[in-house]
Amino acid sequence: MLVRRRCWLPLLAFAFALDVAAQTDYRPSRENLAARRWFQDAKFGIFIHWGIYSLLGDGEWVMNNRRIRAQDYEKLAQFFNPTEFDPHEWVALAKAAGARYITITSKHHDGFAMFDSQVTDWDIIDRTPYKRDVLKMLADECHKQGIKLFFYYSQLDWHHPDYYPRGATGHDAGRPSQGDWNRYLDFMDAQLRELLTNYGAVGGIWFDGMWDKPDADWRLARTYKLIHDLQPQALIGSNHHRPPFPGEDFQMFEKDLPGRNTAGFNTTEVSALPLETCDTINNSWGYNFTDNRFKSTRALVHYLVRAAGSNANFLLNVGPMPNGKIQPEFVVRLREVGQWLKQNGEAIYGTRGGPIAPRPWGVTTQRGDTVYVHVLDWPDGSLILPAFGRRINRARLLRDGSPIRYEERAGELLLRLPPQRAEEYDTIIVLELTP
């Protein structure tokens, strides 16, 4: 469906293989469609990258980047003892930030399971002195505090011997040059079954790493069916950098707004599925103790607003420290985003991308007969928008309800903006449309 067929035979075979691999006969259940609407309304989530790599304070790619052999990397696990981890604190922080869901790494590319897995001992229970299932602790707390939990799961695995033939990365782990690919996929399915069985209702599965072996047979049909059979409402998304395959429920972008590709690996094809874009606060996903290039709260709010204006959610990442705490620079920014959302959330939550496509000056969002014009970067006293075919009943400033003067002309709408306030991240004009 999404793979363009050409007359060249090899490409045709390739396209066919992908079609077969995905869940082609997939029809999302009623629960799944409802979950998609919930997801689109939620708009803001917190991403958590946490693993034994956090100990080294050098990001989640440290094993690959420093060419650490698996047998050496394994030594790390004995030091992972996050005695300061308090799931209540994490979930309360996510809520204070205004997030409606959390997406946490259950297993990253290092293959280490941050949960109690029966199909390997390469997990937090069997290898660390902490010996507790942090995913279970977090899941229980999320259910208690009414926030949805998604699991990130890396299909790429730098540790498992059966991840073979190898892909683009993970060549220096010192694994034998043999392995059984189907046995690896069985292992992955078994872990996913655990994640969808032992942790209550799951928001969804956030796959990553398929890009490492884009042409392999990932048995997507079987894996996606397994997930949907176990929990029909669970949303499947995959960060494979391609347009969605059948069986996926949302489309994600990494460090780019939908349709853009500044990161260099994103597809610019935007599907009709619910959308999400993720980004970091500094430049690291996993804890990095020398990365101090923090984005300002203003920049984070702007990205959230531009995502909403692009009809997408924003999944904002934190990489907790090895002791289980979230570093203060992240906490401050999350709380400030939350304060902003408390005052302006009406123009974000439950909205969809508005009638005017994203612009350099800002974006529009919409809920029913209300359009929110988000002016992010416009110095002048008036702003001209293209007409969008609806009459306006009233225009007011979201901040204090004061009326905004406007002129409807042929083909355009002129808004008289209030004087700029340096401390205001987003000047929001509410347009009440004539029904």
Site for ligand H79 in 199-228 (CB under 6 A): 208, 211
Rounded least distance, CB 62 to ligand H79, Å: 10
In whole angstroms, give the CA distance from residue 11 to residue 433. Answer: 49
Comparing CB distances to ligand H79, the nearer of 58 and 208 is 208
Comparing CB distances to ligand H79, the nearer of 5 and 171 is 171
Rounded least distance, CB 152 to ligand H79, Å: 7
In whole angstroms, give the CA distance from residue 134 to residue 271. Answer: 34
Residue 370 carries which DSSP code?
Answer: E
Rounded least distance, CB 364 to ligand H79, Å: 28
Comparing CB distances to ligand H79, the nearer of 64 and 297 is 64
SS3 184: helix
CB count, 10 Å around CB of 171? 12
Told to check if 265 binds ligand H79 by CB under 6 A, we report yes
Q: Residue 154: in which H helix or E strand, if any? A: strand 148-154
In whole angstroms, give the CA distance from residue 115 to residue 106. Answer: 7
Comparing CB distances to ligand H79, the nearer of 156 and 431 is 156
Site for ligand H79 in 270-289 (CB under 6 A): 278, 285
Told to check if 169 binds ligand H79 by CB under 6 A, we report yes
Which of 74, 186, 189, 254 is close enough to bind ligand H79 by CB under 6 A?
A: 254
Comparing CB distances to ligand H79, the nearer of 243 and 418 is 243
The residue number whose beta carbon is nearest to ligand H79 equals 168
Strands of 352-353's sheet in order across: 352-353, 362-367, 370-375, 427-433, 392-397
Strand spans (E) along 155-198: none
In whole angstroms, give the CA distance from residue 304 to residue 46. Answer: 12
Strand spans (E) along 281-369: 312-318, 352-353, 362-367
Comparing CB distances to ligand H79, the nearer of 1 and 168 is 168
Are 40 and 352 in contact by the 8 Å Cβ rule? The answer is yes
In whole angstroms, give the CA distance from residue 251 to residue 264. Answer: 17
Q: Within 13 Å and on the Cβ side, how many CA atoms surround 167? A: 22
Which of 1, 11, 20, 168 is close enough to bind ligand H79 by CB under 6 A?
A: 168
Told to check if 23 binds ligand H79 by CB under 6 A, we report no
Rounded least distance, CB 423 to ligand H79, Å: 32
Site for ligand H79 in 377-416 (CB under 6 A): none
- By CB under 6 A, the count of residues binding ligand H79 is 11
Comparing CB distances to ligand H79, the nearer of 108 and 306 is 108
Strand 235-239 relative to strand 204-208, pairing = parallel
Site for ligand H79 in 44-103 (CB under 6 A): 60-61
Told to check if 172 binds ligand H79 by CB under 6 A, we report no
In whole angstroms, give the CA distance from residue 49 to residue 328. Answer: 16
Comparing CB distances to ligand H79, the nearer of 207 and 406 is 207
Instruction: Provide the binding-site residues for ligand H79, judged by CB under 6 A.
Output: 60-61, 168-169, 208, 211, 239, 254, 265, 278, 285
